[in-house]
Amino acid sequence: MNTRTLDLTFAALLVATFITWFLGEQGAHGPMTAAVLLGLAGIKGWWVADEFMGLRHAALHWRMIILLWLILVVAAIGIGLTIAAGMVIAD
């Protein structure tokens, strides 16, 4: 495993985590913020699976199973947030 790639991935994970922390500290809210946070969570999950779990070197079908799982989880959370926001607005 290439340590440079791991280091760069770790640095990117730190930057993505800082962005989510910063948005939370600033009190950012709304659908665009939620979309950014969910997108970053999905990307971070993919990076962790691909680099640190070693899926980059696994068969393509294993990588796609994990990627599809991440997409489904992020989409389900996004749909749930959208429905919940619609219920709050409708009340």
Residue 90 has pLDDT above 60, yes or no: no
What does the pLDDT look like over 8-33, one tens digit per residue? 999 999 999 999 999 999 998 888 89
Rounded to an integer, the average pLDDT of 53-63 is 91
Spatial separation of the C-alpha atoms in residues 11 and 26, rounded to whole Å: 22
Specify the pLDDT at position 74: 94
Residue 73 has pLDDT above 70, yes or no: yes
Q: Which of 26-30, 60-64, 81-85 has the highest mean pLDDT?
A: 60-64
Spatial separation of the C-alpha atoms in residues 21 and 34, rounded to whole Å: 13
Amino acid letter, residue 61: H
Q: How many other C-beta atoms are found inside a 10 Å radius of the C-beta of residue 49?
A: 19
- In percent, how much of the chain has pLDDT > 70? 93
